Protein backbone atom coordinates (compact mmCIF):
# COMPACT_ATOMS: atom_id res chain seq x y z
CA UNK A 1 0.00 0.00 0.00
CA UNK A 2 2.40 2.67 -1.23
CA UNK A 3 1.54 6.33 -0.92
CA UNK A 4 4.69 7.79 -2.39
CA UNK A 5 4.87 9.24 -5.88
CA UNK A 6 8.35 9.82 -7.24
CA UNK A 7 8.79 12.96 -9.30
CA UNK A 8 11.80 12.74 -11.57
CA UNK A 9 13.58 16.04 -12.03
CA UNK A 10 12.24 17.85 -8.96
CA UNK A 11 15.74 18.28 -7.50
CA UNK A 12 16.99 19.70 -10.79
CA UNK A 13 14.01 22.05 -11.01
CA UNK A 14 14.64 23.27 -7.45
CA UNK A 15 18.32 23.82 -8.26
CA UNK A 16 17.46 25.73 -11.45
CA UNK A 17 14.92 27.91 -9.66
CA UNK A 18 17.46 28.68 -6.93
CA UNK A 19 20.06 29.56 -9.59
CA UNK A 20 17.53 31.99 -11.08
CA UNK A 21 17.15 33.70 -7.72
CA UNK A 22 13.87 32.09 -6.66
CA UNK A 23 13.38 31.39 -2.97
CA UNK A 24 11.16 28.41 -3.95
CA UNK A 25 8.20 30.01 -2.17
CA UNK A 26 5.97 29.40 -5.22
CA UNK A 27 6.78 25.70 -5.13
CA UNK A 28 6.38 25.58 -1.35
CA UNK A 29 2.97 27.27 -1.63
CA UNK A 30 1.83 24.88 -4.37
CA UNK A 31 2.95 21.81 -2.46
CA UNK A 32 1.39 23.05 0.77
CA UNK A 33 -1.94 23.56 -1.00
CA UNK A 34 -1.81 19.97 -2.24
CA UNK A 35 -0.79 18.76 1.22
CA UNK A 36 -3.85 20.46 2.70
CA UNK A 37 -6.12 18.52 0.34
CA UNK A 38 -4.65 15.21 1.51
CA UNK A 39 -4.54 16.30 5.17
CA UNK A 40 -8.23 17.26 5.08
CA UNK A 41 -9.12 13.86 3.62
CA UNK A 42 -6.97 12.06 6.21
CA UNK A 43 -8.70 14.03 8.99
CA UNK A 44 -12.05 12.86 7.64
CA UNK A 45 -10.85 9.22 7.64
CA UNK A 46 -9.01 9.02 10.98
CA UNK A 47 -10.85 7.09 13.72
CA UNK A 48 -12.02 9.50 16.42
CA UNK A 49 -12.56 9.00 20.12
CA UNK A 50 -11.66 12.40 21.52
CA UNK A 51 -10.36 14.01 18.35
CA UNK A 52 -6.84 14.49 19.66
CA UNK A 53 -5.14 12.61 16.81
CA UNK A 54 -7.37 14.28 14.23
CA UNK A 55 -6.20 17.65 15.55
CA UNK A 56 -2.56 16.81 14.83
CA UNK A 57 -3.00 16.04 11.12
CA UNK A 58 -1.43 18.87 9.18
CA UNK A 59 0.17 19.78 5.89
CA UNK A 60 3.91 20.38 5.73
CA UNK A 61 5.40 23.21 3.67
CA UNK A 62 8.16 21.78 1.46
CA UNK A 63 9.64 22.62 -1.96
CA UNK A 64 10.47 18.97 -2.63
CA UNK A 65 7.29 17.04 -1.86
CA UNK A 66 3.69 17.00 -0.84
CA UNK A 67 3.90 15.96 2.80
CA UNK A 68 1.45 15.39 5.63
CA UNK A 69 2.27 14.88 9.31
CA UNK A 70 0.24 13.35 12.11
CA UNK A 71 0.91 12.85 15.79
CA UNK A 72 3.25 14.60 18.19
CA UNK A 73 5.14 13.91 21.38
CA UNK A 74 1.84 14.11 23.25
CA UNK A 75 0.07 11.99 20.58
CA UNK A 76 2.67 9.27 19.93
CA UNK A 77 0.11 6.68 18.80
CA UNK A 78 -0.45 8.09 15.29
CA UNK A 79 1.67 5.37 13.60
CA UNK A 80 0.01 2.67 15.71
CA UNK A 81 -3.41 3.72 14.44
CA UNK A 82 -2.10 3.86 10.85
CA UNK A 83 -0.11 0.60 10.84
CA UNK A 84 -1.47 -1.35 13.81
CA UNK A 85 0.46 -3.22 16.49
CA UNK A 86 0.27 -6.98 16.14
CA UNK A 87 1.68 -7.77 19.60
CA UNK A 88 -1.14 -5.75 21.17
CA UNK A 89 -3.81 -6.99 18.77
CA UNK A 90 -4.36 -3.49 17.41
CA UNK A 91 -5.52 -3.60 13.81
CA UNK A 92 -4.29 -0.99 11.34
CA UNK A 93 -6.81 1.74 10.57
CA UNK A 94 -5.16 3.53 7.68
CA UNK A 95 -6.06 7.18 7.30
CA UNK A 96 -2.88 8.82 5.92
CA UNK A 97 -2.02 6.23 3.27
CA UNK A 98 -5.68 5.75 2.43
CA UNK A 99 -6.15 9.49 1.88
CA UNK A 100 -3.01 9.68 -0.27
CA UNK A 101 -4.08 6.68 -2.33
CA UNK A 102 -7.63 7.99 -2.81
CA UNK A 103 -6.33 11.35 -4.01
CA UNK A 104 -3.29 10.06 -5.92
CA UNK A 105 -4.52 10.88 -9.43
CA UNK A 106 -5.84 14.32 -8.48
CA UNK A 107 -2.60 15.22 -6.68
CA UNK A 108 -0.45 13.99 -9.58
CA UNK A 109 -2.44 16.08 -12.04
CA UNK A 110 -2.38 19.21 -9.86
CA UNK A 111 1.32 18.75 -9.09
CA UNK A 112 2.14 18.46 -12.81
CA UNK A 113 0.07 21.59 -13.53
CA UNK A 114 1.87 23.48 -10.73
CA UNK A 115 5.27 22.49 -12.11
CA UNK A 116 4.22 23.52 -15.64
CA UNK A 117 3.06 26.89 -14.33
CA UNK A 118 6.38 27.44 -12.55
CA UNK A 119 8.36 26.45 -15.64
CA UNK A 120 6.39 28.99 -17.70
CA UNK A 121 6.63 31.68 -15.02
CA UNK A 122 10.42 31.42 -14.96
CA UNK A 123 10.74 30.98 -18.77
CA UNK A 124 12.31 27.54 -18.44
CA UNK A 125 10.37 26.00 -21.32
12 domain-assigned = no
30 domain-assigned = yes
Given this model, what pLDDT does residue 6 score? 62
1 domain-assigned = no
72 domain-assigned = yes
11 domain-assigned = no
* Global confidence as pTM: 0.84
User: CA–CA separation, 19 vs 118, rounded Å?
Assistant: 14
Domain count, the chain: 1
Cβ count within 10 A of residue 82: 19
Domain that holds residue 40: 24-120
39 domain-assigned = yes
79 domain-assigned = yes
Q: Residue 118: pLDDT band by 50, 70, 90 thresholds?
A: confident
Chain centre distance of CA 68:
4
Amino acid sequence: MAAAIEVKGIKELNRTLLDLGSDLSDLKDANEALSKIVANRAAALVPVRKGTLKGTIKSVRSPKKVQIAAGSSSVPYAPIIEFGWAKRNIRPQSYLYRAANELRDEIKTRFANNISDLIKKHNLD
